[in-house]
Amino acid sequence: MNFKKITSALLIAGMCSAAFAADGEFGLKGNVQTQATKMIADKDNNLSSYWIRANIGGQYKSEDFDALVMLRIFAPQFGNKIKDGDGKTTSYDKILADLYWANYKWNFETFKLNLKIGHWKTDWSQSTHFGTYIDKDLTARGLWMRDYSHNAVEFGWQTGYSNFNFMVATRDNKFNTGYIRVEEDLKFDFPLEAKFAYRVNALDIMQNRALLTHRYAAYLSINPLDFLRLYGEYAYLVTEDQTNHLFAKTYNTIASESKYMTEGNSFHPFYIGAEFAPSKDSFMSTLMSSLYVEWEHINDRASLTDGKKIDDWAWTVAWAKKIANSKLQFSVYSGNEISDVGFAFRLTSTIK
């Protein structure tokens, strides 16, 4: 444990030294987060889940190069557990390399190019609980963060309203499994944003026999009023009904990208939401920064959980308030069934 702490400190110190010597801006980043959830149906526990974690790192920015390294730290109670030879379980700290990437940039008169390499996240849906269907497992429910981690190389092209990205990502350390991901993000002068994305596990078939799963997603956000935003996401996920391969041996077959994506089946999840964000000078802004209401539907959701009783529909109502360097978030949401009610709270205290 001491070795890990020393290594983390040296990493941050090294980043500081390199950044201050470079021609750009470097800043430390960090926060402490705590989250608690409680499902009313869970009568065996005081809380259904609870954790406290720290995020610490630094970011470098310049005209032609950006970089970020962030560590995520959990105490033993929320960290790793191992068993020794006698079957005794021991808990110890968990330190994760949560984010680390380098981004090279080239600025031209009418367009910009960039090349990003590393490990980063996409929170594609911008929802409190739902969405990011282009990346996330459909069985996973979100709590204010619908992000997904990529180990990838990405090429970006930005011009006018368009921001286009082409990514090649891997799920192992030999580049034998992975996917291609394409995204187009359109942001207009008027309050409208539209996103379109496609993802396919194309790397899987290079060295393996595999089922190809195609994911298509579209996201739309519009502000009809200054204090009101309407948004939603729709996706179509389908798995081909035969295995594919290029160079794989006949016996080298891997499992589907998701355990529930069997041959020939498909899902078309969607959600719709509304955000009420009062102006900073109004009385309502003293009570909240934002209030969210969202509905989600996934066809045949029970098949995602081996027939477990679960409704196709789900809902959530979430409240958020920023106070100085802190952000409070509270939500009420449905569990496996519409009538199952859960509560969640998160506090984020930003260091810098």
Model confidence pLDDT, tens digit, residues 197-243: 999 999 999 989 999 999 999 999 999 999 999 999 999 999 998 88
Residue 316 in any domain: the answer is no
pLDDT at 8 over 60: no
Q: Which of 104, 121, 144 is the last residue of a domain?
A: 104
pLDDT at 6 over 60: no
* In a shared domain, residues 13 and 126: no
Mean per-residue pLDDT for 7-27?
61
Same domain, 245 and 268: yes
Verify that 84 and 141 share a domain, yes or no: no
Answer yes or no: do 130 and 66 share one domain: no
Q: Are residues 206 and 229 in the same domain?
A: yes
Domain that residue 151 falls in: 108-283+301-311
pLDDT of res. 35: 94
Would 138 be classed as within a structural domain? yes
Binning pLDDT at 50, 70 and 90, where does residue 91 land? Answer: confident
Q: Both tokens of residue 267?
A: 């899902």
How many domains does the structure of the chain reveal? Answer: 2
Under DSSP, the state recorded for 209 is B
Domain match, 145 and 18 both:
no
Find tokens 């981690």 and name the residue: 149
Q: Say whether both 239 and 254 belong to one domain.
A: yes
For 142, how many CA atoms within 13 A lie in the half-sphere containing its CB? Answer: 27
Residue 57 near residue 34, CB atoms below 8 Å: no
**DSSP helix/strand/coil, 69:** strand
> Per residue in 260-287, pLDDT tens?
888 888 999 999 999 999 988 888 888 9
pLDDT at 302: 86
